[in-house]
Amino acid sequence: MQRISVFDIFKIGVGPSSSHTMGPWRAAERFLRELEAAGSFESVARVQVELFGSLAKTGRGHGTDIAVLMGLRGEDPAQCDTRRIGYAIQQAQAEGQIALLGRKPVAFNPDADLVFHYDRSLPFHPNGIRLSARLSDGSTVDGTYYSIGGGFVVREGETTGEDESPPPFTCASAAEIADCCRAHDLSIWEMVRENERAWRDDSDFDAGLRRIWATMVDSIYRGCHADGDLPGGLRVVRRAKHIHRKLMNGATYADHEAWIEAIRSRPRTFQDTVKWVSCFALAVNEENAAFGRVVTAPTNGAAGVIPAVLMHFVCAHQASDAETLRFLLTASAIGGLFKTGATISAALGGCQAEIGVSSAMAAAALTECLGGTVDQALMAAEIAMEHHLGLTCDPVGGLVQIPCIERNAMGAMKAITAAHIALESTPQNARVSLDTVIRTMWETARDMSDKYKETAEGGLAVQIPVNVAEC
């Protein structure tokens, strides 16, 4: 809500990490665009990139080095050919140069010009990146950026969230959302839509939301039809395809629409529902781990939760196109509350900030879409987050695979459970509010050891021996 658009929360991009892949990618491109705007780009003779804190510690596993190079090349993460991403570093190594913004070749040696400061952090945020350019007259220009979670990037000293066109409803808390919806007789999704009208017209807006959903569906589809090991050296075997094949039991389909219809017509026992939801979540996050195209929701590590719950809504509840868009709107409002009231950055808050937030977003959206009241939707978000509090981030080998991929299935199932509990509850009797749980999450984040904040220095990350390949 506030001044965060639904398109800030849901962004089409590339795996495996919004903070460690998408953020540095955008920061590198932004640095060059700023040089371009200042008229210095054409005289750049050399660039150097330094990664600090969590970006250095888990950067290789999260593909930060590759992402930075893609950003320097001016590639668009929403549209680039994902099959070519892995070649970025090999090409720079082989040729000893990189084409800045795709058009200006300069000498570049990834081993010397891409520096990982494993023992240094910058003060503002654990995900710091500094870029510097040496110009042909011998002078140097630099810029420091922070990847603050969910693909959001801020430049040193920059403030976020202010917009010249303030939306009509700027709610800073769940209580304000509830009051506002009551006062104006709106549901959460209607309120978000009114806010978005301050920034773009309805047809652009609907088209953008449909692109988001189509990308989510495509990531599920691709994940359900791909097999083999995931990249990075952990030898994690993809499982979504196997589960999908068993559930489809020979059903055939020609395209995505026919595929969804085929899933809708499959028998649905309780076990089947659990398997379908898990399959959807695994599919997206296997794609994410394989540098595939996914939607940040609100992060890449948690990119499977919302598509899995929404696909469940579409297939098991026969949701219409309009209901699908409403789901995304409500979910974005809850994501905005966590982003402003706590964090969606695992480097600040651990996995509660990723899987916990996505689960809360999905729970509220499903509740409202299944006919729940605003208070029940907010309650569902509270229930979902309450049972993720304290969840640490401990990715084995610094890769977004173990425990991340399965964790998306767990987050999706908790969201569905939370929605159904809320739908059978009277929110006025609840002892814990969504605002309380957001505050608690933030306090828990601040108390959490840095070992559990996307550094791969604690938890499962130090229990499992790995020999992670540098990709």
Cα separation, 125 vs 108, whole angstroms: 27
List of E strands, 120-240: 127-135, 140-149, 152-155
Amino acid at 373: T
For 117-129, the three-class secondary structure string (H helix, E strand, C coil) is ECCCCCCCCCEEE
Q: How far apart are CA 303 and CA 311, in angstroms?
A: 13
Of the candidate residues 292, 335, 395, 427, the single one contacting ligand SF4 (CB under 6 A): 395
The correct pick among 301, 307, 335, 397 for binding ligand SF4 (CB under 6 A) is 301
Q: Of the two residues 225 and 235, which places its CB atom closer to ligand SF4 in the complex?
A: 235
Q: In angstroms, give the least distance from the CB of 56 to ligand SF4.
A: 15
With CB under 6 A as the rule, give the number of residues binding ligand SF4: 14
**3-class SS string, 306-369:** HHHHHHHHHHHCCCCHHHHHHHHHHHHHHHHHHHHHCCCCHHHHHHHHCHHHHHHHHHHHHHHH
Which of the ranges 103-111, 215-223, 346-354, 364-372 carries the binding residues for ligand SF4, by CB under 6 A? 346-354
Q: Which stretch binds ligand SF4 (CB under 6 A): 87-95, 263-271, 362-370, 390-398?
A: 390-398
Which of the ranges 89-97, 133-141, 315-323, 394-402 carries the binding residues for ligand SF4, by CB under 6 A? 394-402
Binding mask 448-467 for ligand SF4 (x = CB under 6 A): ------x-------------
Q: Which of 453, 355, 358 is nearest to 398 (CA)?
A: 453
Q: Which of residues 14, 224, 311, 346 is near ligand SF4 by CB under 6 A?
A: 346
Q: Per the structure block, which two tokens stand in for 88?
A: 């970025």
User: Residue from 354, 375, 386, 435 that binds ligand SF4 (CB under 6 A)?
Assistant: 354
Q: Does 393 bind ligand SF4 (CB under 6 A)?
A: yes
457 CB contacts (<8 Å, ≥6 apart)?
57, 450, 451
**Residue closer to ligand SF4 (CB basis): 92 or 404:** 404
Half-sphere exposure of 427 (CA within 13 A, CB side): 24
User: Among residues 151 and 301, whose Cβ is nearest to ligand SF4?
Assistant: 301
Q: For residues 345 and 373, which CB has a smaller minimum distance to ligand SF4 in the complex?
A: 345
Question: 4 vs 149, 152, 214, 466, CA distance in Å?
Answer: 14, 11, 22, 39
Amino acid at 329: L
Among 67, 153, 351, 364, binds ligand SF4 (CB under 6 A): 351
Q: Which is nearer to ligand SF4, 300 or 324 (CB)?
A: 300
Task: Tell me the closest approach of the beta carbon of residue 272 to ligand SF4, in angstroms.
Answer: 26
Per-residue string for binding with ligand SF4, 355-384, x by CB under 6 A?
x-----------------------------
Q: Which of the residues 404 through 423 are near ligand SF4 (CB under 6 A)? A: 404, 407
Q: How far is the CB of 358 from ligand SF4 (least distance, A)?
A: 9
Minimum Å distance from CB 16 to ligand SF4? Answer: 8
Residue 238 or 326 having the CB closest to ligand SF4: 238
Q: Which is nearer to ligand SF4, 110 or 150 (CB)?
A: 150
Segment interacting with ligand SF4, rule: CB under 6 A, options 74-82, 197-205, 234-242, 387-395: 387-395
User: Residue 395's closest CA among 357, 353, 346?
Assistant: 346
Q: Is 297 helix (H, G, I), strand (E, B) or coil?
A: coil
Q: What are the residue ranges of helices labelled H in 249-317?
A: 256-264, 270-289, 305-316
Q: Which of 66, 363, 374, 400 binds ligand SF4 (CB under 6 A)?
A: 400
DSSP element (H, E) containing 423: helix 404-423
CB atoms under 10 Å from CB of 392, counted, come to: 20
In the bound state with ligand SF4, the residue whose beta carbon lies nearer, of 20 and 73, is 20
| Site for ligand SF4 contains 224 (CB under 6 A) | no
Alpha carbon distance 32, 90 (integer Å): 22
For ligand SF4, which residue has the nearest CB? Answer: 301
Reported as half-sphere exposure (CB side, CA atoms, 13 A), residue 315 has a value of: 26
Could you tell me which stretch among 116-124, 150-158, 177-185, 350-358 binds ligand SF4 (CB under 6 A)?
Answer: 350-358
Task: Compare residues 8 and 394 and give the one whose CB is closer to ligand SF4.
Answer: 394
φ/ψ of 103, rounded to 5, equals: -140, -10
Number of neighbouring beta carbons within 10 Å of residue 428: 7
In the complex, least distance from residue 458 CB atom to ligand SF4, rounded to whole angstroms: 11
| 381 touches 363 (CB < 8 A) | yes
Of the candidate spans 31-39, 256-264, 310-318, 349-357, the one that interacts with ligand SF4 by CB under 6 A turns out to be 349-357
Considering beta carbons, is residue 22 or 32 the nearer one to ligand SF4?
22
Expressed in angstroms, the distance from the first to the final Cα of the chain is 38
**CA pair distance 192, 6, nearest whole angstrom:** 8
Please tell me whether residue 143 binds ligand SF4 under the rule CB under 6 A: no
Binding site for ligand SF4 (CB under 6 A): 301-302, 346, 351, 354-355, 393-395, 400, 403-404, 407, 454
